[in-house]
Amino acid sequence: MKINVTFDLTPEELRRAMGLPDVQQFQQELFTSMLEKMKSGEEGYDALSLYQPMFTEGMNVMGQFQKMMLNMMSGVSVSSADKNNNQG
């Protein structure tokens, strides 16, 4: 037996139905604040510093993914690779 259920909801209605908070006002205030700092050239404001944590984490995740894929292709299980890394 196969049952299909379709909900016709707007994103706002779905947010309310799931009980998620409305962060639209907060996002707008944050965006306005960032925009004002950028326009005024505030001392010490560096736009790149906002994205630096994402770049760092993104590169770490990519390295972990590549290592996992290499281990899978070489036939090394993840658990044995972790044991080898922890021992040496």
- Per-residue pLDDT tens for 6-46? 989 998 899 899 898 888 888 898 888 878 877 776 666 66
pLDDT at 86 over 80: no
More confident residue, 15 or 83: 15
Q: Tell me: pLDDT of 55 over 80.
A: no
**pLDDT confidence of residue 54:** 67
Q: CA-CA distance, 30 to 32, in Å (whole number)?
A: 5
The angle formed by the CA atoms of residues 67, 72 and 74, to the nearest 5 degrees, is: 95
